[in-house]
Structures are given as structure tokens and as C-alpha cells.
Structure 1
Amino acid sequence: MTISMESTPMELWRHPEPESTPMFTFLSHVLPPDAPIFPRPDFFAGALLNFAENLLFPENVHVSESSTAIITATELDGDLRTTSWAQLRDVVAGFVSNHVESVVAMLAASTVGAIWTSISPDNGVSAVLDRLVQIEPKVLFADNGTIYNSKSWSSIDKVAQIVKELKTLQLVVWIKNIPETQWQLHHLEPRNSVVMTEYENFLSSSIHEPLRFEQLPSAHPLYVLYSSGTTGLPKAIVHTALGTLIQHKKEHKLHCSMDSTSRLLYYTTTSWMMWHWSVSALACGSTLVLYSGSPFKPHRYLSLPRLLSVLKVTHFGTSATYLTTLEANNIYPSASLDLSHLQAIYSTASPLPPSTFSFIYKAFPSHINLGSITGGTDIISLFGAPCSILPVYVGEIQCRGLGMAIEVVDPISGELTPGEDGELVCTKPFPCQPLTFWGPSGGDKYRASYFERFPNVWHHGDFVRINTCTGGLTMLGRSDSVLKPSGVRFGSAEIYNVLTKFFGSEVEDAVCVGRRRETDRDETVSLFIVMGEGHEFTSELCLKIQQTIRTELSPRHVPTIIEEATNGIPRTSNGKKIEVAVKQILSGINVQTNASVANPESLTWFQTWAANHN
């Protein structure tokens, strides 16, 4: 990585008194001796760097100025835009799709030391404001619309509502993502304090001076990502420049064997941490293929595989749900497409079923490295990683990430349980630990999220098993109440907020959890409601709830199951909803009622419901 230091390693080697050099000091202080995992220690304290500089001018990598850095693609057949390394080298929030303009905006923000946060346009206004109001952005890059499932969807009305509520905004930069959309800036009626401009005008107004990268401390904030919002508003997680860079570059180069000959397409939105992960591949000199749209348009199940073939993609990432969909429909891309250049397929967001492992090696070239991976928004990277030189075992993530001291412990005692099922923890500091959570009580929320369950270790909230023979990981599901349908994480509080806002008089109480039994391929969002006095539970109400959640949040938030809980919602003696117990009951786990349950008859009702709906 590019780090400002007065000495090079060779000068250090030749120096008559190496201990007097800044480089010696730098290399001697990767981490303070006996540093605890919390409070978070700084790796390479004293070093200066710029994240964007490392992506735009990667060290020890030869890339031609005229070679392709980014390819932007959509579901429209033949809609491809290429950006060379020279063109790519030409605070801040993004309500943007996965395209080159979003990467440019992120790089521009990090060049000057601003913090970047992005939310995909498929989110509703409530979901966007729940996140952005917290961090008070001054600049917003926004798409005028997006294309999905062969339809154009305007974002104009959404952005108008967002701008109205974000009182700190000073500048809105419009990206014409749908060229044919008719729109005028003056129709938006922004506040007088907000300047609005189009993306091309914004670029042309810049001062033509050499690019200057602010050299910043290793712990300088780079990104804000968001937790699922289980117990309230989504928590804004602040990630650092050095931690993100060094972790991603380790994973791309050492775990994924990526270099300047590689082409990476990760099917993701800008809300998901895999967007941030994939963009960092520029630091290896790799070419990014940014795709926006349905994965099943315009050539149904072969849409993405055809793109992999045409663009000669070497590394393809997606969700387990996408791969199981191919399996369920008996789609074998290699039978009709040339995918000989494909080196790896990465699957994340939810555990990859064992049968799908076998299917992938029949449907795609057998020489690929199938990497089921796990990590998360919390660490903006991986705990369980792929490895191109290790064997792949059915149902297992190949290995621990290098430098990640992860273990499995007993859920009650916190003692190590080798070879057994338990809680995933990390016992030693790692570079990509979040800096903090945003806001005045961010440090307290940070500690409560990861370090209260077990002393002096990071508690990740996953049930896992580590094979003592292979070293592989088997993910057994979330140990908390976070919902994760199709790999999209969100919290029940987002659903509750919509119910309160739009159905406050009709719905008295509710519990929303994910249901995933051993035989299920994906998690089902399940909503149980208690009707308010004088109101009846009807199919029309269920449909209205689903439509409102779709509009206000996203299609992924929509409950598949909506039922009336006639015995109430289970709560503790202090009034807290017992979501985890409900989730476990619905997922087929035997739950013992304890004295902390104020209304045990409610849990009995859920047990009966689960038995009758098995």
C-alpha cells in the first residue's frame, strides 16, 4: 500500500543505525504490545495513507493507462460502458445503483478525506432516512432512476422527500442513470440552501489541477455502513481507511489470487458490504464489472452467465439464493457457454446448501474454486474465506481468514468447544474492527453489540462449527434475531416502525422473525400481529401491510407469512419482546420456557402454530 514514510525497506536494510529510522519505528509498531481487542487498538499507528490513491495507483502492479478499469453493465442487452484507468483517475452519501459513477463519487470523497455512505435506490424513503438522518450528510449523489426487471423506475419523488428531510444537505448531484427519463431540476423545489446540479456539469466545474490525495491517519473514517436495526434505528458503523484497505487487499490477493489479469463481477447493490469489498479489487489492478438490474434479464437464467462469458470474467460473486435458483431450475451454463476463463465463484449472504456445492461443479467449469464465504457488514470483510490452493469440502467454507483468530465457544460458558457447534468469536485484534458507531453514544453501542456477551472477545452472533480435520467452517445460522432473507440483513425494528406509522390503530402489537428450518433453502420473513380493539384480521389488511412495507422499505422486507397471534406476543418480565425464542420455535428448535417469560402461553401458541405449519 502507499504509505508516507521517509525510508524505504532497502534504505532501512542499508542504514548504519536502522533503529533510528522512521521505517523501523513503523514496522516495529504494527500493533501495541499486548493490545486488547477492546477498546479498539490502532494498527500501524502513525502511518499516513489515502485509500483512493491505493485503488487508483496500485503499488507493484502494472496496468496500462488505456486498459479497462471498470465495465458498467445493465440488464439491457449490449448496454456496456468501459472506463479506462486513465479516465478513472479524472460529506458524502450516495442513493445510487452499481455503476461507474458511484465508484467515482466514492473515490472522490475518500481522496479529500470525506466519509462515504451509500444506499441502493430500491430502498424506500423511510429506510433511507432512518440511516442518513443519523449521519447528516452534506453532499448527496442520487440516480434519477433505475432499471429493474425490464422496467424503468424513477427516483425523483423519493429523492425529493429525502432532500426535504436532510437538513444538513448543501449539494445534490444528479446522475442520469435512465437517459430517457424526462425530468427537470427546478421541479424538485429544494430548500434554498441546497444546490442542485447534474453529474456532468459537476465534473466540468472542477478546477483542472493535479489530483491531490490527502494523507490521513490509519484510523481515519472511510465508510459508514449500517446494522440491521433489530433494537431501533439501524446502527451506523464507521470503518477505517487502513483497516478496510489492508483487509480487502489480503483477501483479494492472498485468498482469491487476484491480480491485474483478473476481472471481478460481484452481483451486489451499493447498500451491501460486498460492493465495498469488490471495489477494493482495483488495488490489485483488477478490472471491475459493475452490474445493475435483475440477474434474470434479458436471457432468463442465463443472463449473468452470458455476461460472464462475453466479458471473460475470472471471478464471479453472488448470493447463495441465486445459485440455488439455478440448481432448482436445472440450469447448466457450461453446456452452452464458454466459461473456460472463470477461475472462482464466491457465494455469501446465507449458507450454501451441500447439494448446491455438487451442482456448481457440474453446471460450471470443474476447475473453479467454489468459495462459500462469511463475514459481514460489522467487519466489512471475511471471517471465513476462500483459498485457491486448498481443497473444497461439500458444505464447508474453506478456511479462517488469514490473521483472524476466530474460534467456537459454548453459548453459555464461553469456553472453547473444538469440533462442536457454538458461537463464533474472534479472540485477538484485527485491522478491520469498526472505529466506532456513529453518534454521541456510539462507543457504548459498539461495546454492547460485540463485547458484552463474552469478556475480551468479539462475539459475532453466528452459530458455527469448525471441522478439526479440514479446518473448514459450517455456518449454522444467526444466533440472534436479525432477519436475513436472500442474504439481505435487516432488523425487525424496521418492520415495527412501518406498522406503527401506518397501522398504529389497527395493529396493537407484533413480532417479526425469520423462519429457516433444516429443509429450507432460504429464510422466510414471518410477521405475527395482535389486532387492536375493534379491528379484525383480514386478508385485505395483510395485503395492505405487504404493499406498504414494499413501498417504505424494500421488496426484501416484505413478510411472506402474516398471521394473527391470538395469544399475544411473548415478552420478558420487563416488557421486552422475545424474538429469538419465537425464531427458534418456528425453525424447529426445541425451546424451554423459563421464568423470564411473562406470558408463557404465548410461546405455547407459537409452538402449536409451528407444528401445524410444518
Structure 2
Amino acid sequence: MPHIDESVTTEAKELWRPSSPETTQIHDFMTKVNNKYGQSLSDYNALWEWSVSQPAQFWEEIWHYTHIKAHQPYKQVLESDKVMFPRPPFFQGSTLNFAENLLYPANAPDENAIAVIGVTEADREFISWKELRERVRKSANALKEAGLQAGDRVAGFVGNHANAVVAMLAAAFDRRLLDGSNQKSSLQTALRSTTAKSHGSHAKVREIVSELSHLQYLVVFETAKPLDFDFDQVRPKNGKAVAYAEFQAAVRDEAAPLEFASLGPDHPVYILYSSGTTGAPKPIVHGSLGTLLQHKKEHLLHCEIRPGDRLFYFTTVTWMMWHWLVSGLASGATIILYDGSPFRPFDAEGGKGEMAMPRLIEELQITHFGTSAKYLSMLEQAALNPRKHLHRPVSLNTLKAIFSTGSPLAPSTFEYIYNSIHPDIMLGSITGGTDILSLFCSGCPVLPVYKGEIQCRSLGMAVSVFNYAGKDISASGEPGDLVCTAPFPAQPVMFWPPGPEGLEKYCKSYFDMFGPSIWHHGDFVRLNPQTGGVIMLGRSDGVLKPSGVRFGSAEIYNVLLKHFADEVEDSLCVGRRREGVDSDETVVLFVKLVPGCPSNISDLAARIQAIIRKELSPRHVPGIIDACPEIPVTSNGKKVENAVKQILCGLNIKIGTSVANASCLDWYRNWASEHS
């Protein structure tokens, strides 16, 4: 029988309950739905059931409730809710502009209020709504002057600075543009980034430019002074390379107004790239309205973000959470951009480095703080309590919510946050992906937080759990694959470039397993029938299957964090089954020891195996445990399980460029050879 975690069969531990759910925006939304449609929805589960059973009505109400600013009204919300591939169009007939909705939201604060705060380890930049609009106007006019045409792509090699947001909004406001984040494009915006220590990017820019045969314009933001940049060495072969100030100065009509192009709902706004850890990344094209609707729904209803709130997410511009953060402007929030180390202290009082983010919350009065599960687990391992810090306690009184994603948040970290960070906040463990640029499961301000669980399946997202046979096992509490069974507007528009090949890849990526009516996302999850919460167990391609029993690597990681944080800094758990060699899969666990840890690996391995046997089951016990020097991760800090798994299984794979520390994979290749 599949392993069932104790949290499914016993009463889940409640860590937080909202004190006044009736004052939330989601409660207000539910009241409006009841009044308009004659419903008697009384709780979140009833609202979710209605949202996924009546997708056309639900998304129409989201359009109205979030105040989408359109140039032309829609003629039809959704033609059919039966098939997800080919992608069904939403809100046909409407036209709008993505950038306009972010720059001029219906509930925008006063134009002199702060819209963006740019932060480095040394500097602060406060930008009002009025100034942000003016900077976008100038940048957009410069793009037009440079000859940007319909269908061109604007790409960025940028840090998390205010100018990155300005450039994105300027590109999105005009003509028929795609804002790419990584690969080939017609205009490349480059940045020389700086924190307390300057990091020149000249060599990297030169490398990127040399590979972009269609590049016409390179614009360099000046983020460090003086700007020491050799433009001749980075100039595109058939184009120009200029500093940002020079780029703007070339505009002939400096007073040209900001005129927003009127575009269809599926007009591309972003190209995002999947991690591509074992091959070429998928270039996923996202439409303007689907992205806008989904983000506004999540911000207003699931995150309880209101005008004037201060939203922060510790992210780089290469992670989808950057785009999610920037869309906070559409809800009237102040967004905070941080470029620097999360561990560098901001004061001279001798504080530990881990205090950087808590001190930032205090200084900037952040209300909604987002980060990765890995960062929170590192704070937990350091036993940091910012409210009782040795040198100066940190006040986190403005904090309303903490969001965590990137990997499953361990149950012990849930308890750590409520015990050491803040006792009365919504801890929104969330999950979605680059593929949808949004969330499948999220936080909810009207529901309790249970240890180890994502609070709910998001409104309008018909999430279920399927086994390999395509049977819905959501109600059983058994682990399986996360799927979505109804269309939603944030489905990708296409893969780039357009054409039959991209369409085929699109279909294979999400609909190959269960057919055109079931989106298969690739996450391995379990639904708690008691609470409605979702337990993340890892990626489907990283599922461990010794003796046919399926479980996720997150279950192993949670045990290590709970019991061995003083000895194990990080870990990687994969399955090994070599064709023609192994009759069954062996669970292999690699542990990176805490520096200076005197642990004997044989003794440590025996203790780990004993605890896993006790807390999980004999089937979960790794057959091999060994120490490793480094854990491979992506640029966003996600563990690269699949690449290591394929190496151990003897497959000759090409490692993608998204593996940030790819050189460490040589150690795993040597290990596999020595343990053949």
C-alpha cells in the first residue's frame, strides 16, 4: 500500500487562524457572488467548488472585482470549458494594455505616494507613482525612436533594480512586443550590477551579445559610477551599443505622451524559460490578460494585498516570482526590489548576517514578505529569532504574511516561523510554476494554517490528484500527480517560436499523460481530506519508487531538517535503477555536512536510516547514504535532482545552463563510476 503520512490519518496541527475573516476581500467577493447568482456559499471550500464548476461565471466576476481596465469590452468569457488543448480563448473581443493596468490601477494611491522602492545593500531609491509613469514614458519613447517593430523581442540581462521594471513596462506598453528574459531577441538590455561589492558584467555581456545574431540594440544601465564599460567590445555585429542616458537623449519629441497600445487578451507579454537542467529550456509565452487576471486574483483574494501595502519578494529577475511581484502594482501596492545578499547585515551593531531580511522588513515596513523555502530553512538551522536578537531585537509589527515557494516548506519550518519570526501572520506556502506564471495552490486569509500544508487549491484552479492510471485519488489522501481539469486564462499562449513544432512541444509538455482535457503539471502531491490542504512531495520526475512504492524526496528532506540540522547543511535524494543492472530502484541520499562537523559518515548514515524508518516507513529508508561536497542547484536555488538521477542511472545527458554550479556534477559522475 502507498505510504500515508500521519498528518492525513490523524488530526492536523493548526498553527494559525484568522481573527476576522469577514473583513477580507475574499469574503467580500463571496458575498457579491452570493447576491448576484443566488448562491449560499458560506466557506472557502464552497466558493472553490463553485469557481471550478462555473469557470465562465467565476472568471467574469474576477474581471469585474479586480477592475480590469480595458479599451474594448469582451463579447464572450469562455466558449467551452471541456478541453484545455488546444488552449481555449478567454474574453474574446476585449482589448487592453498590460502596462496601463500596472501603471494606472483603478485603486491607485495618490500619484505622490511611493510605488517602487529599489534597495541594495548600501542604497535606497524611493519612486513615486508619478515618477514611475514619467520614467516609463521616456523609456517607451526611446524604444519607439530606436525603431522597435511589431513582433520584436526585448530581452534583459538585468539585476533586480527599478530600471528593470521601467524597461519591462516600457516594452509592454507599446506595439506588439514580447518581453523575453533569457535568449535571442532584437534588443538586449544589459546591466552592470552592484551591491556593497561591485560585480562587473562586461565579460558576460560580451558572451551573450556574440551569440545573438539578430541583436540590433544593446542598452547598458548605469548602476555603478563611473560607468567603466567598453562599448566597442560589446557592440552587436549589425547594431548599436549605448548607455541608457544616451539612449533616452536620442528621442526627438521629448514631450511625446504615453499612449497605450490596445491589444488582444492573448497578446504576448512575457517569454519565460523553464529550468532546462537536463536540456534546452522551454520558451513559454504568456498572454497579457491571463497573467494580469491571475496575479490580481492571487494578490487581492489569496494574499489580502490592498492599496498602500508593501510587497516584497526575495527573487532575481529570472524567477517567475519577479513578474508576480511586479504585478503587485496593479493592486495599488508598493513593490520592493532588492539586489544583494539576503545575509548581509544592514547595521553596524554587530548583528549576525542572517538578520538582513528581518531588518529590511522593519526598516521599510513591509507587510507581505516572500522568499524561498530554502532561505527560511537556513534561518531555522541557524536558530535565529529576530524578535530576541542579542544585539537589537527586530520589530516585525507591520508584517501580515510570509510567502514561501521554490520547494516544499518543511513542517518543522512552519513551527519555526510561528515560534521565532511572528506568531500572528498568514504563512502562505504556495506552488505554481513558470509554466503558468502563477499559482495552482496558495495561501488563504480566511483559512487556518496547518503544519506542513499549503492552505488551499486556488480559486478557479480545478486541481486534483491523479494516479498513473488517470484515476482521481484526491479524496483518498494518497500521493499522486497534480493535475488541473478545467481551463484557466493563465495557460500559456504558445511556445516560442510560433508554429507546429512549438504546438507539438506544448501538447507533449502538459497533455501527453492524461489527454487534452487534463493539464499534467509534474508535481507529486497529496491532498489532506480533513483540511483541504495540499502537501508537496516533490517533482513527479523525481519520485522515488523502491519496490513500487511511490514517495517524494521532500519527505526525506523534512526528516533531515527536523533531526539533523546541526550536522547536515543540505541534501539530495534520488532513485537509482540502471538498465540491465538493477532489478529494483535504490534510494540514494547524498548529504553535505555542516562545515567543521565531526560526524562519521557511517555513524551518521545509520542514525539517519533509523529515524527515517521510525518516522516514515522501512520503504523510505535510503539504501545508500554518502557525504558529498556540494548540492547542484539552479540559479534560483532549486535542487537539481533529475540530472543527478540520470547520471547515477548511467545516462549520458547534456546539462542545461540553468545549473548554477554545474561543475559539481563531475563529482557525481565520478561517484557513479566508482559505485558501478
- TM category (shorter chain) comes to 0.7 to 0.9
Matches within 5 A, 1:64-75: 64-75=110-121
TM-score (norm 1): 0.73
Task: Select which of 418, 436, 439 maps to 1:382.
Answer: 439
Question: Secondary structure of the equivalent of 2:478?
Answer: coil
Q: Cα gap change, 1:165/1:469 in structure 2, threshold over 3 Å: closer, same or farther?
A: same
Q: Take 1:403 and 1:334, find their aligned partners in 2: how far apart are those partners?
A: 38
Counterpart of 1:107? 169
Unmatched 5+ stretches in structure 1? 1-22, 120-131, 484-512, 531-545, 578-604
- 1:50-103: per-residue Cα shift (whole Å, max 9, x none)? 0000000001x1411111100000122xx1011110111122000001110000
Q: Take 1:99 and 1:609, find their aligned partners in 2: how far apart are those partners?
A: 47
Q: Deviation at 1:185?
A: 2.0
Matches within 5 A, 1:21-36: 29-36=76-83
Q: Take 1:568 and 1:239, find their aligned partners in 2: how far apart are those partners?
A: 35
Q: Is the 8 A contact 1:421 1:463 kept in 2?
A: yes
Q: Is the 8 A contact 2:217 2:236 kept in 1?
A: no
Counterpart of 1:122? none
Structure 1: which amino acid aligns with 2:164? Answer: S
Q: Deviation at 1:204?
A: 3.2
Q: Deviation at 1:383?
A: 0.5
Counterpart of 2:133? 89
Q: Which has the higher contact order (CA 8 A, sep 6+)?
A: 2
- 1:227-246: per-residue Cα shift (whole Å, max 9, x none)? 12255311100000000000
Counterpart of 2:493? 435
Counterpart of 1:333? 386
Q: Take 1:276 and 1:563, find their aligned partners in 2: how far apart are those partners?
A: 30
- 1:235-290: per-residue Cα shift (whole Å, max 9, x none)? 10000000000000000011111111200110000000000001000001100110
Q: Is the 8 A contact 2:307 2:331 kept in 1?
A: yes
Q: Deviation at 1:27?
A: 6.0
Q: Is the 8 A contact 1:50 1:216 kept in 2?
A: yes
Q: Deviation at 1:151?
A: 3.0
Counterpart of 1:142? 190
Counterpart of 1:309? 362
Task: Select which of 447, 454, 466 maps to 2:514.
Answer: 454
Q: Is the 8 A contact 2:114 2:126 kept in 1?
A: yes
Q: Take 2:642 and 2:485, find their aligned partners in 1: how far apart are those partners?
A: 39
Structure 2: which amino acid aligns with 1:381? Answer: S
Question: Secondary structure of the equivalent of 1:297?
Answer: coil
Task: Select which of 410, 417, 439 maps to 2:467.
Answer: 410
Q: Take 2:458 and 2:645, find their aligned partners in 1: how far apart are those partners?
A: 44
Q: Is the 8 A contact 2:209 2:234 kept in 1?
A: no
Q: Is the 8 A contact 1:262 1:315 kept in 2?
A: yes
TM-score (norm 2): 0.67
Counterpart of 1:320? 373
Q: Cα gap change, 1:173/1:379 in structure 2, threshold over 3 Å: closer, same or farther?
A: same
Q: Take 1:608 and 1:354, find their aligned partners in 2: how far apart are those partners?
A: 36
Task: Select which of 95, 102, 113 maps to 1:48.
Answer: 95
Q: Cα gap change, 1:47/1:366 in structure 2, threshold over 3 Å: closer, same or farther?
A: same
Counterpart of 2:248? 203
Matched, 1:351 2:398: no
Question: Secondary structure of the equivalent of 1:172?
Answer: strand
Matches within 5 A, 1:535-546: none
Q: Is the 8 A contact 2:294 2:489 kept in 1?
A: yes
Structure 1: which amino acid aligns with 2:530? Answer: C
Q: Take 1:432 and 1:561, find their aligned partners in 2: how far apart are those partners?
A: 27
Q: Deviation at 1:436?
A: 1.2
- 1:441-493: per-residue Cα shift (whole Å, max 9, x none)? 1110010010011122000111111111211100011111599xxxxxxxxxx
Q: Cα gap change, 1:416/1:26 in structure 2, threshold over 3 Å: closer, same or farther?
A: farther
Q: Take 2:124 and 2:372, find their aligned partners in 1: how far apart are those partners?
A: 23
Question: Secondary structure of the equivalent of 1:275?
Answer: helix
Question: Secondary structure of the equivalent of 2:559?
Answer: coil
Structure 2: which amino acid aligns with 1:87? Answer: E
Number of residues of Structure 1 aligned to a counterpart in Structure 2: 487
Q: Take 1:453 and 1:576, find their aligned partners in 2: how far apart are those partners?
A: 23
Q: Cα gap change, 1:193/1:428 in structure 2, threshold over 3 Å: closer, same or farther?
A: same
Question: Secondary structure of the equivalent of 2:99?
Answer: helix
Counterpart of 1:237? 284
- 1:538-576: per-residue Cα shift (whole Å, max 9, x none)? xxxxxxxx99x99xx8695998999999x98446xxx99
Q: Is the 8 A contact 2:372 2:404 kept in 1?
A: yes
Q: Is the 8 A contact 2:278 2:643 kept in 1?
A: no
Q: Take 1:527 and 1:385, find their aligned partners in 2: how far apart are those partners?
A: 29
Task: Select which of 121, 124, 129 maps to 1:80.
Answer: 124
- 1:360-380: per-residue Cα shift (whole Å, max 9, x none)? 112222221111000010110
Structure 2: which amino acid aligns with 1:274? Answer: M
Q: Deviation at 1:178?
A: 2.3
Counterpart of 2:589? none
Question: Secondary structure of the equivalent of 2:198?
Answer: strand
Q: Take 2:297 and 2:644, find their aligned partners in 1: how far apart are those partners?
A: 47
- 1:494-542: per-residue Cα shift (whole Å, max 9, x none)? xxxxxxxxxxxxxxxxxxx9996553456539899x9xxxxxxxxxxxx
Question: Secondary structure of the equivalent of 1:444?
Answer: helix
- 1:272-321: per-residue Cα shift (whole Å, max 9, x none)? 00000010000011001100111001350111111110100000000011
Q: Take 2:448 and 2:191, find their aligned partners in 1: how far apart are those partners?
A: 43
Q: Is the 8 A contact 1:527 1:563 kept in 2?
A: no
Structure 2: which amino acid aligns with 1:36? Answer: V
Q: Cα gap change, 1:217/1:527 in structure 2, threshold over 3 Å: closer, same or farther?
A: same
Q: Take 1:238 and 1:452, find their aligned partners in 2: how far apart are those partners?
A: 19
Q: Is the 8 A contact 1:92 1:140 kept in 2?
A: yes
Matched, 1:226 2:226: no
Q: Take 1:274 and 1:527, find their aligned partners in 2: how far apart are those partners?
A: 30
Q: Deviation at 1:143?
A: 0.5
Q: Take 1:392 and 1:517, find their aligned partners in 2: how far apart are those partners?
A: 21
Structure 2: which amino acid aligns with 1:45? Answer: Q
Task: Select which of 193, 203, 207 maps to 2:238.
Answer: 193
Q: Is the 8 A contact 2:411 2:558 kept in 1?
A: no
Q: Take 1:55 and 1:339, find their aligned partners in 2: how far apart are those partners?
A: 28
Question: Secondary structure of the equivalent of 2:408?
Answer: coil
Question: Secondary structure of the equivalent of 1:469?
Answer: coil
Question: Secondary structure of the equivalent of 1:324?
Answer: helix
Unmatched 5+ stretches in structure 2? 1-69, 135-152, 347-352, 545-552, 562-569, 579-628, 655-670
Structure 1: which amino acid aligns with 2:512? Answer: E
Task: Select which of 523, 528, 536 maps to 1:475.
Answer: 536
Counterpart of 1:534? none
Q: Take 1:559 and 1:360, find their aligned partners in 2: how far apart are those partners?
A: 26
Task: Select which of 138, 157, 160 maps to 2:206.
Answer: 160
Q: Cα gap change, 1:253/1:523 in structure 2, threshold over 3 Å: closer, same or farther?
A: farther
Matched, 1:170 2:216: yes
Structure 2: which amino acid aligns with 1:291? Answer: Y
Q: Is the 8 A contact 1:515 1:525 kept in 2?
A: no
Q: Cα gap change, 1:564/1:316 in structure 2, threshold over 3 Å: closer, same or farther?
A: closer
Q: Take 2:466 and 2:674, find their aligned partners in 1: how far apart are those partners?
A: 32
Q: Take 1:153 and 1:527, find their aligned partners in 2: how far apart are those partners?
A: 39
Q: Cα gap change, 1:557/1:251 in structure 2, threshold over 3 Å: closer, same or farther?
A: closer
Structure 2: which amino acid aligns with 1:169? Answer: L
Q: Cα gap change, 1:399/1:561 in structure 2, threshold over 3 Å: closer, same or farther?
A: closer
Q: Is the 8 A contact 1:515 1:524 kept in 2?
A: no
Q: Take 2:437 and 2:284, find their aligned partners in 1: how far apart are those partners?
A: 10
Matched, 1:268 2:315: yes
Structure 1: which amino acid aligns with 2:181? Answer: S
- 1:358-401: per-residue Cα shift (whole Å, max 9, x none)? 11112222221111000010110001111112110000000111
Task: Select which of 215, 218, 222 maps to 2:262.
Answer: 215
